[in-house]
């Protein structure tokens, strides 16, 4: 059986594009790792931690763990702590280019694969009024960088994988599954 180690409804929908049947068993541990990491290494380490936690309880299955971070001006932005944090994050991203990096870890038996996908994203200029309305709608509260690429008016352009920005790089996951299921 394939297990998605994530509670994200967006990842669940994206994984359906790759495999028809899978279980969802979210990792329950804290989303933190220690050490000096590049943003890519951090995304991979967080994905590896989630995958490892679920794999430890389900060693006979294939487990997929993912973690998405946003990087702007050298700062790593995760999910917002509250509405004020979401406002600060969206204000910082307004009119700027940033990167979305999703780490993916898969484990099956004694095989482990870890990789990441990086997408460049350019934001529209967002007014304070737009940001407040966007936050009031609730969309930013469970997303790295406090936004969803699928939400109207936020993203101007992106270069790379759209599904990566949503939370799971579908092409990378297909490739990795092809290797790990052999």
DSSP 13-63: HHHTTT-S--EE----S-S---S---HHHHHHHHHHHHHHHHHHH-TTSEE
pLDDT digits (tens, 9 = 90+) for 44-78: 999 999 999 999 999 999 999 999 999 999 999 98
pLDDT higher than threshold 90 for residue 29 = no
Going by the DSSP 8-state scheme, the letter that residue 66 receives in this structure is E
Rg of the Cα trace of the chain? 16
Q: What is the pLDDT of residue 78?
A: 86
Q: How far apart are CA 155 and CA 93, in angstroms?
A: 10
pLDDT higher than threshold 90 for residue 155 = yes
pLDDT higher than threshold 90 for residue 30 = no
Residues catalogued as catalytic: 67
Q: Identify any residues that bridge with 113 across adjacent strands, giving them in sequence order.
A: 106
Query: The tokens 């200029």 sit on which residue?
Result: 125
CATH number at residue 59: 3.90.950.10
Residues 9, 11, 12, 17, CA torsion sign: positive
Which range among 23-37, 63-77, 81-95 shows the weakest confidence by mean pLDDT? 23-37
How many structural domains comprise the chain?
Answer: 1
Domain extent at residue 16: 2-180
pLDDT digits (tens, 9 = 90+) for 113-136: 999 999 999 999 999 999 999 999
């Amino acid at each position: 059986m394939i297990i998605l180690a994530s509670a994200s409804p967006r990842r669940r929908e994206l994984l359906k594009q790759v495999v028809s049947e899978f279980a969802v068993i979210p990792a329950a541990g804290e989303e933190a790792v220690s050490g000096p990491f590049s943003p890519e290494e951090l995304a991979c380490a967080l994905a590896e931690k989630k995958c490892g936690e679920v794999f430890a309880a389900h060693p006979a299955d294939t487990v997929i763990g993912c973690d998405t971070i946003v990087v702007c001006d050298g700062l790593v932005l995760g999910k917002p702590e509250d509405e004020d944090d979401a406002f600060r994050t969206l204000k910082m991203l307004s009119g700027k280019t940033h990167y979305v990096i999703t780490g993916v870890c898969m484990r099956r038996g004694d095989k482990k694969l870890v990789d990441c996908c990086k997408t460049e994203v350019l934001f529209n200029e967002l007014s304070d009024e737009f940001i407040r309305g966007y936050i009031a709608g609730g969309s930013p509260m469970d997303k790295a960088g406090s936004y969803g690429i699928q939400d109207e008016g936020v993203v101007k352009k992106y270069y790379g994988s759209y599904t990566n920005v949503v939370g799971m790089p579908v092409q990378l996951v297909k490739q990795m599954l092809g290797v790990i299921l052999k």
